[in-house]
Structure 1
């Protein structure tokens, strides 16, 4: 049951009616409904792992209280923290990475014993495990560091972990931002609900119109790349880069918008990242909840440990952090190399002292300067070329992509790729990026409350028209696989 399915629309309408008309009297009733709805949603998506989700909630709820109650005994408190880390990371290692390490181990043994044979295990990946597990890891670390008090209400803690708009693909929330909102009774807000509907509409447009039209061009290219020229692969790379962004940012906007319908604000996950002039600023705007999580729980402690090495230690810390960012996406060397490269892109910024630089392009102006446009273009090209590794099934295929791109076939005329479908897709992308550009300093990409009613309703009707005419069906979101 995905956000752009008819089943989900019916599910959401029923839950909203119950939430605002039947269960509205107290926060307790509202939270009970949210938890029941969230489990129904997860069971509908994949019933086989609902007990794993419940186990994760119960274990981390217990650990949070236990860690707090042992504040007088630091040694024992640290043991419970480590137990929690082993449990949570162990879930990820088993379900997501076991076969990766298992296969690697046997490949090493095969160097010495060539007659060894092995087969990987058929381990299913629970939906959303990368997202809800990172929430629980961050939670117990924050409790241990006394940055938050543990939740003593199992119902509220369960809603924090399992809240269905964010359950499958984030954003990765923190307790201190989420919990205060569900500890009080939510009152219906017309303005918040309308803003949520705007984000849902924009997210739907990004997903079914932009991302799916890009996929219709990119997928056939990559699925039969062997007979494609470098110029055609570059076209595929462009559409794939836009597809990934529109798909995931579209999901995030829909998740945030749906949550607003329940009177709950989730963290912003994308902030027009393509309008950045350096890699550091881009990652502050791309998958923000993951990036900030990695910076807080990996980069900061690691850079503190390596502080005596000064800039070299800082560079090592950022590279290691982004290797983990890449590895978070899946058990494949392509993701590790993807993360490594993004970490290496930070090194010039580290040594120039600009790693924390953040810059609003064309601040107060409608158009960027030539220098700003040039920097944005170069950054997009760098990210797009790196996405070839992200897209590849393995490193060998990635090298094949690059071999074709950096060859004379790059200059070949891309026969058949100036078709009507390509022209329409470029037009839709242009609209998508233009709307993001004019709202790059707003709270979200379709925050149009400051316009008059005529402009607002014209915008709604136009987007609805595009969705009906150019929308394509899809079975999933890209980040569901992570």
Structure 2
């Protein structure tokens, strides 16, 4: 059940009515409804792994309490390690077992073995990368005494399973979400309207921008050997936009749905394509994953390697981003994707500009030529690296690059001969313009300060675009992770 479906509409309307009309008396009653609704939502998506989600919730709840109650450091560490083994073990088995299994037989073949084998038939549970990272972060925060463990199983269960973010995030932190579940939520008309506004923008990003891009991208990547270099290059542009619109669209819808229940989820994207360096890009792209990796991987690793100064910092960044890539899936393409992004940080490390972050052209209508040049160069770099994200394997990715930078790179791209590509470029221009206008705001469609007539004109205009250019979509790209 995806947000952009009639099934979800049929699900959320009665839940909202019950939440604000029947279950509004206390935080307990509201949390009961949220938990039941979240379990139904997850079971609707894939009932086979509902028991796994419940077991993960119960085990991490118990471990959090044991870590906090135990005074002896060695015993506290034991409970933390048990949590790490359990949560990482889930990921290793469901997400990476076949990858390592196949790799083992590939090594045997290198040494001349002809042993036959079958692929492991392991189904990936939806949302496992998101809820396991969330519970891992919770246990580490409890161990470091940064938060108190939740002693209320109901609240903790909602923290883990809350349906807007269970399938594709954001990866919430306990310090941000748990306190909201400890108090009764009260109805706020401005918050409700802002949530609907954010849902509308996410819906537009997904079914208009991402799906129109997908209609162009899929034929190109599926038959890339028959395309000219210029067409392949343009295909990478459309894919970069598709990937962003698809995932940011989901995140905006998830955050917007959370607001409908009086719950604020963390922002996951902050106009990343307007960044002028790679560090700033990752501070604005998939923010919940980036901050998680920075806090739980990069920070301790850089502390261990601090005596190596810049080389240690560089190694910590590269290792962290290899893990960021590998988090996305069991394929060498994601490892290479993460490695590339880690290597892009090296100039920043040696120039001492790692922490440079800014709102581009703040207070101005247009960026300077220098800012525009930096944004374009960074986008081209990210766009090309996304080929690894989209390709089926590393060999195919390099073959794709080889065909881009061939003699046909300067041919007229054939896809521009179709009206669909030109229409999509126009829609992308509108999408980028709106995000540019709202850069630095709370979200990409934050219209609360505008006059009423501008707000309603914007809503009607988006609805018209949805009606004429929206395409059906049964899933989101990040559901596979």
Q: Please, which runs of 5 or more residues in structure 1 have no aligned partner?
A: none
The answer for the alignment partner of 1:68 in structure 2 is: 68
Is residue 318 of structure 2 the alignment partner of residue 335 of structure 1? no
The answer for the alignment partner of 2:78 in structure 1 is: 79
CA offsets per residue over residues 342-401 of structure 1, 9 Å max, x none? 000001101111111112210110100001000000000000000011100001100111
The answer for the alignment partner of 1:234 in structure 2 is: 233
Deviation of 1:417 (Å): 2.5
The answer for the alignment partner of 1:23 in structure 2 is: 23
Deviation of 1:76 (Å): 0.9
Deviation of 1:19 (Å): 0.3
The answer for the alignment partner of 2:218 in structure 1 is: 219
Deviation of 1:418 (Å): 2.9
Deviation of 1:56 (Å): 0.3
The answer for the alignment partner of 1:49 in structure 2 is: 49
Is residue 196 of structure 2 the alignment partner of residue 165 of structure 1? no
Deviation of 1:415 (Å): 2.7
Deviation of 1:94 (Å): 0.2
Is residue 328 of structure 2 the alignment partner of residue 349 of structure 1? no
CA distance change for structure 1 residues 416 and 317 in 2, over 3 Å: closer, same or farther? closer
CA offsets per residue over residues 243-302 of structure 1, 9 Å max, x none? 000000000000000000000000000000000000000000000000000000000000
* Count of residue pairs the alignment pairs up: 481
The answer for the alignment partner of 2:281 in structure 1 is: 282
User: What CA distance in whole angstroms lies between the structure 1 residues aligned with 2:416 and 2:47?
Assistant: 43
Deviation of 1:109 (Å): 1.9
Deviation of 1:416 (Å): 4.4
The answer for the alignment partner of 1:301 in structure 2 is: 300
CA offsets per residue over residues 391-433 of structure 1, 9 Å max, x none? 0000110011100111111111223433210110000000000
Aligned alpha-carbon RMSD (Å): 0.7
Query: After the TM superposition, which parts of structure 1 deviate over 4 Å for at least 4 consecutive aligned residues?
Result: none
User: What CA distance in whole angstroms lies between the structure 2 residues aligned with 1:420 and 1:327?
Assistant: 38
User: What CA distance in whole angstroms lies between the structure 1 residues aligned with 2:239 and 2:414?
Assistant: 19
* Alignment of structure 1 residues 175-186 onto 2, 5 Å: 175-186=174-185
- Assess if the C-alpha contact under 8 Å between 2:231 and 2:415 holds in 1: no
Secondary structure at 2:344's aligned position in 1?
helix
User: What CA distance in whole angstroms lies between the structure 1 residues aligned with 2:158 and 2:180?
Assistant: 11
Deviation of 1:163 (Å): 0.1
The answer for the alignment partner of 2:109 in structure 1 is: 110
- Assess if the C-alpha contact under 8 Å between 2:225 and 2:403 holds in 1: no
User: What CA distance in whole angstroms lies between the structure 2 residues aligned with 1:283 and 1:22?
Assistant: 42
Q: Please, which runs of 5 or more residues in structure 2 have no aligned partner?
A: none
The answer for the alignment partner of 1:419 in structure 2 is: 418
* Alignment of structure 1 residues 108-257 onto 2, 5 Å: 108-257=107-256
The answer for the alignment partner of 1:4 in structure 2 is: 4
Secondary structure at 1:127's aligned position in 2?
coil
The answer for the alignment partner of 2:13 in structure 1 is: 13
The answer for the alignment partner of 2:451 in structure 1 is: 452
User: What CA distance in whole angstroms lies between the structure 2 residues aligned with 1:92 and 1:43?
Assistant: 20
User: What CA distance in whole angstroms lies between the structure 2 residues aligned with 1:114 and 1:34?
Assistant: 54
TM-score, with structure 1 as normaliser: 0.99
Query: Which range is displaced more, 98-107 or 253-262?
Result: 98-107
User: What CA distance in whole angstroms lies between the structure 1 residues aligned with 2:224 and 2:150?
Assistant: 51
User: What CA distance in whole angstroms lies between the structure 1 residues aligned with 2:436 and 2:418?
Assistant: 27
The answer for the alignment partner of 2:387 in structure 1 is: 388
The answer for the alignment partner of 1:403 in structure 2 is: 402
Deviation of 1:110 (Å): 2.1
CA distance change for structure 1 residues 416 and 115 in 2, over 3 Å: closer, same or farther? closer
Secondary structure at 1:176's aligned position in 2?
helix
Is residue 87 of structure 2 the alignment partner of residue 88 of structure 1? yes
The answer for the alignment partner of 1:58 in structure 2 is: 58
User: What CA distance in whole angstroms lies between the structure 1 residues aligned with 2:323 and 2:408?
Assistant: 35
Secondary structure at 1:475's aligned position in 2?
coil
Query: Which range is displaced more, 114-123 or 50-59?
Result: 114-123
User: What CA distance in whole angstroms lies between the structure 1 residues aligned with 2:213 and 2:299?
Assistant: 37
CA offsets per residue over residues 82-132 of structure 1, 9 Å max, x none? 010000000000000000011111111222242222222110000000000
- Assess if the C-alpha contact under 8 Å between 2:42 and 2:163 holds in 1: yes
User: What CA distance in whole angstroms lies between the structure 2 residues aligned with 1:221 and 1:154?
Assistant: 49
CA offsets per residue over residues 316-349 of structure 1, 9 Å max, x none? 0000000000000000000000000000000110
TM-score, with structure 2 as normaliser: 0.99
Secondary structure at 1:417's aligned position in 2?
helix
CA distance change for structure 1 residues 416 and 273 in 2, over 3 Å: closer, same or farther? closer
CA offsets per residue over residues 188-215 of structure 1, 9 Å max, x none? 0000000000000000000000000000
